[in-house]
Homo-oligomer: A and B are copies of this chain.
Amino acid sequence: MQLKNQVEWALHCSAILAGLPAGRYLATKALAELHGVPKEYLSKALQGLSQAGLVESTLGPSGGYRLARAPAGISFLDIVEAVEGKGRTFACTEIRRNNPCRPAGLCDSKPCAIARVMWEADRAWRDSLAGVSLADLAVTLKEDIPAELWRKTGEWVAERT
């Protein structure tokens, strides 16, 4: 079980968009170049963010994407779900119904006990992701990344904005 690589791409792109000069857009081409990933395929991930209402887009030269909300209002979970979907990672196929001892008409009052445990773990995962925003990430990145690289990247992006 692996998350799609588009999740990683979307998170990195969102981090860049969070650092954009106010009101400016950045095109898929620049984001693809910056991260060294195929432009056409990255585009699908960005379209996912757009459909989820996390980013706004505009056409034409100087077009591209920008965040639709303040970085503090966008969580990792928002981005992960925009790309991966909101479905649970554990699918219960109700194999308990295949029990040959089971009477024909029996209706279950609750979801399968095993599924409940798996879903609770899923919830813990989502809660953890919901607890970190792009604003939080920006703080960490600023601490992690060498000042010189941080500055140069900001300039590189600003030139293409």
Residues of A bordering B, CB below 8 Å: 1-5, 7-9, 11-12, 15, 33-37, 76, 84, 87, 89-93, 95-103, 106, 109-110, 113-114, 116-118, 120-129, 132, 137, 140-141, 144, 146, 148-149, 152-153, 155-156
Residues of B within 8 A of A140 (CB): 113, 116
Give the distance in Å from the alpha carbon of A90 to the alpha carbon of B125 in the complex. 12
Number of copies: 2
Q: How far is the CB of A82 from chain B (nearest CB, A)?
A: 14
Known: A35-B95, A89-B3. A11 touches B103 (CB 8 A): no
Give CA–CA (A70, B22) in the complex, Å: 60
Contact A5 B149 (CB under 8 A): no
Nearest chain-B residue to A103 (Cβ)?
A: B149
